Structures are given as C-alpha cells and as structure tokens.
Amino acid sequence: MKKILITGSNGLLGQKLVEKLSKSKEFQTIATARGNNRLPASDNYIYISLDITNKDEIAAVFESEKPDILIHTAAMTNVDQCETEKDGCWGLNVNAVEYLINACKKTNTFFIHLSTDFIFDGKEGPYDETAEANPLSFYGWSKYAAEKLLINSDIKWSIARTILVYGIAHDMSRSNIILWVKNSLEQGKNINVVNDQWRTPTLAEDLADGCILIAQKEAEGIFNISGKDLLNPYEMAIMTADFFNLDKSLITEVDGTKFTQPAKRPAKTGFILDKPMEILGYNPKTFNEGIAFLAKQIGEK
C-alpha cells in the first residue's frame, strides 16, 4: 500500500482528496495543513499539522512518514491578496515548493503539484499543455515560478493545472459562483456578473479524481485537469438560475471594467483536455452536471 501525503488538507481540494483517498484500498493517507484538522471525519487517515513555509517541519514530516507520493494543494490562491502581499505569496507559492522538492528528493517521493490557468495571459485560450506561459498577475508569476522549479528539478513530478474550482466543503470561508448566485437570487438581490472572462470551471470532486488518476499511474509531466465547458461567469449565473428556477431578471450582464481589482485577470483561458482524457482516462462533469451535483449535496446538508 502506497503512502500519499496531502498538503492543504483543510482546503476545498484537500478535503475532497482526503475524503476519497481515505476510502481507497490502494493508499494510506497522510493529511497535513497548518493548525488543526478541520475535517469532520477522522477515520482511515492520519493528520499532521504542517507549516509548509518551514523547511525544518517539512524535512521532519517527510523523514518520519516517507511518503511515496505528495499531492501539493496548499497555496495562496487569492489573486488580489497575492498582488498586495507579495512576500507572503512568494513564501507560500514558491519557497515552499523548493522545500518540498528537497524533501521529496531525499525520500524519493513522486511530487504532484497543483497549478493554474493564471500562468497564461488569456489571449489564445483554450490552452493545451504545451502552450507558452505569460502571467498577468503576481499570483500567476508565483505559480509559474513553482512550475519551473519542478520542471528543472531531478525528482519525479507531475503538474496538474486547473481552473476556477467550485464545490462545497466543511467550514469553508469562501463561497463559489453557484452558491453565490443561488443565495443572492433567493434573497431577491440584484447581481452584476461579468461576461468577458472565459473559463472551464472545475468541480472539486473532478479535480480530486484527476489528481488520484495521476497518483495511481504516477504519470509524469503536465496535465490539464479542469471542467470541459468554456463559459463566462454570466453564462454560469444564467445556468444556475435556470437549474434552481430562480428569477434571471435579477442578473445584470456587465463587463470587467465595472470592477476594480488589484490584479489583472486573463480574458480567455480554458483548457483542452485531450491529453488527460487519453492518458489518464479523466472524464469531468459538464457544468450543468456540476450544478446538479452541488444541488444534491446542499439537499443532503
């Protein structure tokens, strides 16, 4: 049985991975995050508090646990926060990756790293795995720098790039577009939603499945792991309203100039999924299926 260590296990993707892997007969799961474990169930995995910006802590955990595989989900992902807190962003998104690479080298651990569509400028989307990076934001640069560290390392690695992850998790501070639209319209609120940014939104469970497929095959290289539908947020909002039979007239279509944000966003990203479908057997849900999946989870809560 292989040992798999997850960083950022309190986050949305981390929670989904622990949930799925703790039921697997294939892997022994070590969940790590900063501070206390926020997951409701504690069966079939062990939890270790780990600050990934502390290289001694990383070295100690890797030495004692000797994981076969690392899935590194922890990062500073708030794009505007990265723009205003550059040192913190670099510490979490780049330096920590360097510490993890060094630890993986000593224990011969296969490193699966989560990356983002924000390494692209959004002029040529949708992108395949060979597309040229050109980040517009500090967040994008930090994630691209981390990719470069891995690509130039002499360990075994895989990069899973993803886009606009949505889902429901325990004790989460951040909402997602589906819940935000649903809650706003149910309260009769008018909402402005942008129509000039295109993405292939990713259900958190699909992303977790993609990471697990990479782990099972120890498939090296870069893989696009996202949803399959290229949509803008306005379209996502309309589809959400339709699904829940809510009043679409409350949704106003606006362009990005209506919002001022510290970080620049790429206009059109989206991923071409031929490679993960062919090599990994990855098959994500459509956005409509994703809404239905969340609706069922909300119902169960």
Q: What is the pLDDT of residue 256?
A: 87
pLDDT value of position 258: 82
Asked, for residue 162, whether it belongs to a domain, the answer is yes
Residue 171 confidence (pLDDT) = 74
Whether residue 89 is contained in a domain is answered as yes
Alpha helices in 108-160 (DSSP H): 138-151
pTM of the model: 0.97
The answer to the question of residue 99 being in a domain is yes
Structure tokens at 72: 């590194």
Closest CA to 267 of 198, 195, 164: 198
Asked whether residue 26 is domain-assigned, the answer is yes
Tokens 């062990």 label which residue?
A: 46
131 within domain boundaries: yes
Report CA dihedral (115, 121, 123, 126) to the nearest 10 degrees.
0
Would you state the pLDDT for residue 260?
84
3-state helix, strand, coil in the chain (%, to 5): 45, 20, 40
Residue ranges making up the domain that contains 215: 2-167+201-228+269-285
**pLDDT computed for residue 301 by the predictor:** 66
Task: Report the alpha-carbon distance of residue 273 to residue 224 in Å, rounded.
Answer: 6
Whether 221 is covered by a domain: the verdict is yes
Q: pLDDT under 50 in the chain at which residues?
A: none
pLDDT at 172: 64
213 is a domain residue: yes
Please report, for the domain that includes residue 62, its CATH number. 3.40.50.720
Residue 243 belongs to some domain of the structure:
no
Quote the radius of gyration of the chain (alpha carbons, Å): 19
Domain count, the chain: 1
